[in-house]
Amino acid sequence: MVKPLKRILIGGLLLFLYLPIIVLALYSFNASEYLGRWEGFSLKWYGALFSNAEIAEALYYTLGVALLATIIATAIGVLASIGLFYSKAKIKKHVMTANYLPIVNPDLITGISLMMFFVFFRARFGFSTMLLAHIIFDVAYVIVVVMPKMMQIDFAQVEAAMDLGANQWVIIGRVILPQIKQGVLAGALLAFTMSIDDFVISFFTAGNRATNLSIAIYSMARRGIKPYVNALATLMFVGIILLIFFINRINDSKKDNENGRLIG
Amino acid sequence: MIEQPTEARQEGLVELHDISKAFDGKPILKDINFSVDKNQFLTILGPSGCGKTTLLRMIGGFEEPDSGTIFLNGKCINGVSPHDRNINTVFQKYSLFPHMNVYDNIAFGLKLKKQSAKTINKKVKDALKLVSLSGFEKRSIEALSGGEQQRVAIARALVMHPQVLLLDEPLSALDRRLRLDMQRELKEIQVKAGITFIYVTHDQEEALTMSDKVIVLNNGAIQQIDTPDNIYNEPVNLFVADFVGTNNIIDGRFIEDHRVSFLGAEFECDDVGFVKNSRVHVIIRPEDFILGEGGKLSGHIRSAAFKGMVNELVVLVEDTELIVRTTTHYVAGTDVFLDVIPFNIHVLTEEKADEKV
Ligand SMILES: Nc1ncnc2c1ncn2[C@@H]1O[C@H](COP(=O)(O)OP(=O)(O)O)[C@@H](O)[C@H]1O
Ligand SMILES: [Mg+2]
């Protein structure tokens, strides 16, 4: 008896969440230039999108920053997690708490404080400042995803490996990494998603020399929404949905994953 | 006495000299001295928290003693890393690598030694055969039962051909039936492999059935080092008497050599050398009472329970409850006489116990 009600509630919630995006996606195929009037199906805005130099450059910034930040943040995050694995329980706890700060802190605050940080050091705003900012918040996400996997490893395995003649590198390479590799992959994908998704922090740390997609959409939207913005947003949405889908696939493929889905 | 770490020794394969260890200022092990011979099955027996694991970890090289020396083959191995000790450990929770199959777990150490694939193959096969797991090579660790995981852990350590194998309560996670089987198997493996075992357990039955020599540990101090027989029959103090098996510990008085009184009667005994007329403890095993129509003690059967092959009775004599085991059938609520022959009376005082340790 409760079941239908539950279904209606969940359905309503999902509709509420996704309806705006569905409308946006629909209008990206609209032949008309005007919102709110449907003049038939067309791919012309997608065409306009791909021939737009401004957007091509923004895409380069978005993907470039996301890729580099992901690689660097994953490396740092995995090393930090291994360090935490070897640390005392108390240190582990404090660091994990501190690690949530960049995640729960409002992006606006993180963005402004990073901007002030870069101003203080007289950094040249652009690609590198934006990259650094992305690395900083991506590391937090990588650690959050990798640590639960890491904690499933019984530390006695490290001693057993040592007993059998393994040095620290062998232990990391053959005992620890193989057991956390799904966490590492999921963490990297999440970092990549967060990087592509980010607007606020990028906005404050990019300066006016660098423009990524979210900043580009924002400035276009201020000049009045052109339908190709809908096309761009639709593409980004689809891309991120696919990424999240993969992240959850990775986590589901591990049967004993009691932490459930990470996101999505 | 100052130890000479480099001095060559003729004695045991492993020797511990005056080992002490504290954690956060709290002494965990105090002045531990013992030696293990080649091919010996030594068991360290003691209640949980008495320092058994810490002691084993120091022999394995995972923990350093605060003072004292550990010798292997007469050479001091203090500060030597675990894999340079020619000692391997079977950990309490097995600690197998879950992302590797049985074969790769066992081959792990051999691969690190850079042995040829052929040698590794043969050694792994032999080890699997030794632990009766032939054909399990490709199995994943998660698909194994507790007993099988245990055997893989033993094979993984044995394949390294250590001189000494350390085992930390390896059977504690198994159910009783499997534990009894594994006790027998472990002993067989030890004899077949010709390796010295240092085995840690809190289970007195396990210690007594498998070992050549037992060390009883309590509160970080050795209580008794002896053969299982002597530990069982000649406990040197109340702790050992109480911990190793069910014993009746009765207050008594030592009248003179060969004479002791308890529960209102006088008995002949084999013990000598206690202070005349001093208070002593008398230890009598439950199966050593003679029940019948006559005897020095008269008691009332409080309860009778059938336990496998024997009846276990609780008999009230004066104000003392005695645990008595007999193969004859008795019912609760009846009266009975008890007697003990001199050989089965064991007299102890705390003082004498301390002397012997
Ligand atoms: N690394 C450690 N730090 C602090 N205390 C410890 C540590 N390891 C063991 N202990 C303490 O030492 C005592 C003996 O522990 P252990 O050797 O594990 O006993 P057992 O194996 O006999 O149960 C326990 O009180 C335990 O809490
Ligand atoms: Mg222990």
Mutate to test the interface with B, among A153, A162, A164 (most CBs of B within 10 A): A164
Distance CA B262, CA B267 (A): 8
How many Cα atoms sit within 13 Å of A2 on the Cβ side?
A: 0
Rounded to an integer, what distance in angstroms lies between the CA atom of residue B146 and that of residue B152? Answer: 10
Outline where chain B has alpha helix (H). 52-60, 102-112, 117-130, 146-158, 176-193, 204-210, 228-233, 238-243, 350-356
Q: Which residues pair with B17 in a beta bridge?
A: B69
B16: helix, strand or coil: strand
| pLDDT, tens only, B34-55 | 999 999 999 999 999 999 999 9
Taking the Cβ of residue B97 and every Cβ of chain A, the question of whether any pair is shorter than 8 Å is answered with yes
Q: Are A230 and A45 in contact (CB under 8 A)?
A: yes
Task: Quote ipTM for the complex.
Answer: 0.78
- The ranges assigned to domains in chain B are 14-239, 246-354
Q: Which ligand is nearest to the CA of B47?
A: 1
State both tokens at B347. Answer: 């007299």
The beta-carbon neighbor of A156 closest among B91, B156, B160 is B91
Q: Model confidence over B282-341: pLDDT tens digits?
A: 999 999 999 988 889 999 999 998 887 888 999 999 889 999 999 988 889 999 999 999
The predicted pLDDT at position A52 comes to 86
Angle at B240 between CA B235 and CA B245, to 5 degrees: 90
Q: How many A/B residue pairs have CB atoms within 8 Å?
A: 54
In this prediction, residue B179 carries a pLDDT of 86
Give the position, in ligand 1's atom list, of the atom nearest the Cα of B54. 17
Both structure tokens of A29: 């195929």
Residue A253's pLDDT band (boundaries 50, 70, 90)?
Answer: low
- Closest-CA residue, ligand 1 atom 10, reads B23
Quote the pLDDT of residue A264: 40
The pLDDT score that the predictor gives to residue A221 is 79
Domains (range + CATH), chain A: 52-226 (1.10.3720.10)
Nearest CA in chain A to B113: A165
**How far is Cα A91 from Cα A83, in angstroms, rounded to an integer?**
10
Q: Between chains, do A159 and B98 touch, taking CB under 8 Å as contact?
A: no
Mean pLDDT of B220-240: 92
Q: Find out whether B214 and B197 touch, Cβ atoms under 8 Å.
A: no
Residue B357 pLDDT > 60: no
Residue with tokens 């539950």: A6
- Per-residue pLDDT for B9 more than 50? no
Cα gap A183→A85, rounded to integer Å: 14
Beta-carbon neighbours within 5 Å of ion ligand 2: B 53
Name every chain A residue with its beta carbon within 8 A of the beta carbon of B88: 163-164
Q: Which atom of ligand 1 is nearest to the CA of B169?
A: 21
Running DSSP on this structure, what letter comes out for residue B277? T
The verdict on A164 touching B (C-beta cutoff 8 Å) is yes
Superfamily covering domain B246-354: Nucleic acid-binding proteins (2.40.50.140)
Ligand 1 probe mutation, B20, B21, B23, most atoms within 8 A of CB:
B23
Tell which residue, B95, B37, B144, has the closest CA to residue B82.
B95
- pLDDT (tens digit per residue) in A134-168: 999 999 999 999 999 999 999 999 999 999 999 99
pLDDT digits (tens, 9 = 90+) for B268-281: 999 998 999 999 99
- Percent of chain B residues past pLDDT 90, beyond the cut: 73
pLDDT band per the 50, 70, 90 thresholds, residue B193: confident
Residue of B89, B106, B165 for testing the chain A interface, max A β-carbons within 10 Å: B89
Tell me how far apart the alpha carbons of residues B345 and B83 are, in angstroms, rounded to a whole number. Answer: 49
Residue A179 touches chain B, beta carbons under 8 Å: yes
Give the pLDDT confidence score for residue A74 in this predicted structure.
97
Pocket of ligand 1 (CB under 6 A): B 23-24, 28, 46, 48-54
Nearest to A157 among B62, B97, B160 (CB): B97
Closest ligand to B58 CA? 1
Residue nearest to ligand 1 atom 18, measured at CA: B53
Percent of chain A with pLDDT over 70: 95
Task: Give me chain B's average pLDDT, please.
Answer: 90
What is residue B204's three-state secondary structure? helix
Q: Locate the chain B residue with the closest alpha carbon to A165.
A: B83
Quick one: closest CA in A to B165, which residue? Answer: A163
Tokens in use for A111?
A: 């963005």
pLDDT one-digit tens code per residue, A77-136 = 999 999 999 999 999 999 999 999 889 999 999 999 999 999 999 989 999 999 999 999
A110 touches A116 (CB < 8 A): no
Q: Which chain A residues contact residue B113 at CB under 8 A?
A: 165
Whether residue B109 lies within 8 A of chain A, CB to CB, comes out as yes
Question: Which of B28, B45, B56, B59 to mutate for ligand 1's pocket (most ligand atoms within 8 Å of CB)?
Answer: B28
Distance B169 CA to ligand 2 centre (A): 7
Residues 6+ apart with CB under 8 A from A114: A129, A132, A133, A136, A201, A204, A205
Nearest CA to A24 out of A228, A192, A186 is that of A228
Containing H/E element for B76?
strand B75-76
Residue A153 C-alpha from the chain's centroid: 26
- Whether A252 contacts chain B with CB within 8 A: no
pLDDT over threshold 70, residue B3:
no
Quote the CA–CA distance of A189 and B218 in Å, as a whole number: 54
Which among B213, B188, B218, B178 is positioned nearest to B199, based on CA atoms? B213
Strand order in the sheet with B196-201: B87-90, B164-168, B196-201, B41-45, B213-218, B221-226
> Bridge-partner residues for B216, per DSSP?
B45, B224
Q: Is the pLDDT of residue B115 over 80?
A: yes
Sheet containing strand B320-326, edge to edge, reads B290-292, B335-339, B297-307, B310-317, B320-326
Q: What is the pLDDT of residues A162-196, one digit of tens each?
A: 999 999 999 999 999 999 999 999 999 999 999 99
CATH superfamily ID and name for B14-239: P-loop containing nucleotide triphosphate hydrolases (3.40.50.300)
CA distances from residue A186 to A64, A142, A180, B202 in whole angstroms, order as listed = 19, 8, 10, 44
Token pair recorded at residue B344? 């089965």
- In the DSSP assignment, the letter for residue B275 is P
Confirm or reject contact between B132 and chain A (CB < 8 A): no
Which residues lie below 8 Å from residue B336, measured CB to CB, with a gap of 6+?
Answer: B291, B292, B298, B299, B300, B301, B315, B330
Q: Please, are residues B158 and B90 in contact by the beta-carbon 8 Å criterion?
A: no
pLDDT for the residue B351: 55
- Kindly report the backbone phi and psi dihedral angles of residue B161, in degrees, each rounded to the nearest multiple of 5, phi listed first: 50, 55
Model pLDDT, residue A1: 55
